[in-house]
Amino acid sequence: MGWNYTDKVKDHFFNPKNVGRVDDPDGVGEVGSIACGDALTLTIKVDKNSDRILDAKFQTFGCGSAIASSSILTEMIKGKTIDEALKVTNQDIADALGGLPAEKMHCSVMGREALEAAVADFRGEKIFNEDDDEGRLVCTCFGISEGKIRRLAKENNLKFVEDITNYSKAGGGCGTCLGDIEEILEEVWGAEIATQKPVKKAPKKLTNLERIVHIKEILDSEVRPMLQRDGGDLELIDIDGIKVIIRMVGQCSGCRASGFTTGWIEEKLREIVDSEIVVELNEET
């Protein structure tokens, strides 16, 4: 089965608040990249007299946790002054959702970074984090520096390599930097660092019927509406165990990006329904 989400996360995933872009925004924050699988744009409207955030909206290309984290963040900062909003931490975002799976904490970090970027843009400042620019580039897959790893470890009390991956994605690509991350954590925490993480309990397996119902629900409520906005759509051809066979139609049929779209759909279904799901594209017309 996929991640164990709270009802609050599911609500903000299926019914996200403040989606879109603020008209004539006073601040724009863009973080992440589609190449890394997560990208977030946060726009804010600010009352110049009181420095209070009047409106906030987001656009994201990411997983359910990214959508939920962005949605709750906009609700949290609306009505706050800029200084009050900057006090919102990534842990505050996760707590407001009733908690996030450990593997998805990087989504709350991305929300916090988008807020910082939007405020910097509003103030006419260049976003610059001295810690993040310190040291060498450790994770080339996701562009994570030694300084950022150290900062995340200290701010969130992270003592395991797996935690760093959960909060930043560092080490979640090719994996060649895992040894470097462990060395950095040993330097930060010294003898306090443990060598192993506690063994997690295996999630409850879905029945075939439950899996089919969940797959159809996600495709109809989340995936197809996004494709339809661009004149495309998909047809569900078959569900055979963990194999989901789809056909792209409309503007999506024959699109060069169909392989990328299929991967995005697969990631969503793996996250929400079953981590072993495989999506196959039927190109027959």
Kindly give the interhelix angle for 208-218 and 258-272, rounded to the nearest 10 degrees. 130
CATH architecture of the domain covering 137-192: Orthogonal Bundle (1.10)
At residue 71, the pLDDT reads 95
Greatest mean pLDDT among 18-27, 131-140, 234-243 lies in 18-27
Residues of the chain with CATH 3.90.1010.10: 7-122
Mean pLDDT of the region 12-33: 90
The structure's pTM equals 0.66
Phi then psi dihedrals of residue 100, to 5 deg: -120, 150
At residue 85, the pLDDT reads 96
Nearest C-alpha neighbor of 56 from the set 98, 17, 108: 17
* Average pLDDT of the chain to the nearest whole number: 84
Q: How confident is the model at residue 185 (pLDDT cuts 50, 70, 90)?
A: very high
194 pLDDT higher than 70: no
Distance of CA 283 to the CA centre of its chain: 30
CATH architecture of the domain covering 208-281: 2-Layer Sandwich (3.30)
Residue that wins the pLDDT comparison between 258 and 143? 143
Residues of the chain with CATH 3.30.300.130: 208-281
- For 89-114, write each residue's pLDDT tens digit: 999 999 999 998 888 898 899 999 99
139 pLDDT higher than 90: no
Distance of CA 127 to the CA centre of its chain: 21
Long-range contacts of 162-167 (CB under 8 A, 24+ apart): 162/102, 162/197, 163/102, 166/102, 166/103, 166/104, 166/105, 166/106, 167/90, 167/105, 167/106, 167/109
Q: How confident is the model at residue 1 (pLDDT cuts 50, 70, 90)?
A: very low
**Domain range 7-122, CATH class:** alpha beta
The active-site residue out of 63, 107, 139, 252 is 107
Residue that wins the pLDDT comparison between 142 and 87? 87
At residue 225, the pLDDT reads 80
63 has catalytic annotation: no
Least confident of 1-5, 104-108, 160-164, 266-270: 1-5
At residue 257, the pLDDT reads 64
Residues of the chain with CATH 1.10.10.1100: 137-192
Q: Judge residue 159's burial from the number of C-beta atoms within 10 Å of its C-beta, 0-12 exposed, 13-18 middle, 19 or more buried.
A: middle
- For 211-265, write each residue's pLDDT tens digit: 888 888 888 877 888 788 778 888 999 988 889 999 888 877 777 666 677 887 8
203 pLDDT higher than 70: no
